[in-house]
Amino acid sequence: MKNCRLIYKSRASTDVVSNEAINHLVEQSAQANAARQITGLLLLSGNRFLQVLEGAYQDVNRLYGNIMRDTRHCDVELVTFEPMESRYFEEWNMRLVDLYELSKYPREFIAAKYQYRDGVILIPERSHEVYSLLLDAKALCLTTPWKKEKSP
């Protein structure tokens, strides 16, 4: 089966950003994604989501359909959807990266590289910068101790 990578951004509804609700969402997502060999990352910056989903075309499409209808966020906007030769986020079926929880030095690194307003890192407009942010987030997850470890 052919594989693809889909990236979208959206705006979180106020109640989903609470620690408990978001951890629950990511836990359930990781479980459901594992059953379909979907991998990816969910980045949260302020009240903005940026998510990457990797897997079989049909599974990723179906999941994106569900996600678009989900009332826990709005303004869902596709960033890229393309064929995928190899996964970038094979480490996680879904992993939350809350940029607000970064410790000092990784935060300074991200803030210097991407646009920053009112204490919040802005999700870039251009798709190559979106990729760059997601890959930086991955690198930070793999190499840097976080203030508070999140699961999964």
Which residues here bind ligand FMN, judged by CB under 6 A?
Answer: 25, 29, 32-33, 42, 49, 51, 63, 66-67, 70, 72-73, 94
Q: Could you tell me the smallest distance in angstroms from the CB atom of residue 62 to ligand FMN?
A: 8
Tokens of 50: 């940026």
Using CA atoms, how far residue 142 sits from 45, 47, 89, 99, in Å, is: 19, 24, 11, 15
Q: Could you tell me the smallest distance in angstroms from the CB atom of residue 145 to ligand FMN?
A: 25
Q: Could you tell me the smallest distance in angstroms from the CB atom of residue 108 to ligand FMN?
A: 27
Residue with smaller CB distance to ligand FMN, 49 or 114 = 49
Q: Could you tell me the smallest distance in angstroms from the CB atom of residue 139 to ligand FMN?
A: 21
- Spell out where the chain has E strands: 3-12, 39-45, 48-56, 73-83, 96-98, 116-117, 120-121
Using CA atoms, how far residue 112 sits from 48, 107, 121, 141, in Å, is: 19, 8, 10, 18
Q: Could you tell me the smallest distance in angstroms from the CB atom of residue 86 to ligand FMN?
A: 19
Residue with smaller CB distance to ligand FMN, 82 or 143 = 82
Q: How far apart are CA 17 and CA 48, in angstroms?
A: 9
Q: How far apart are CA 32 and CA 90, in angstroms?
A: 15
Tokens of 130: 């979106």
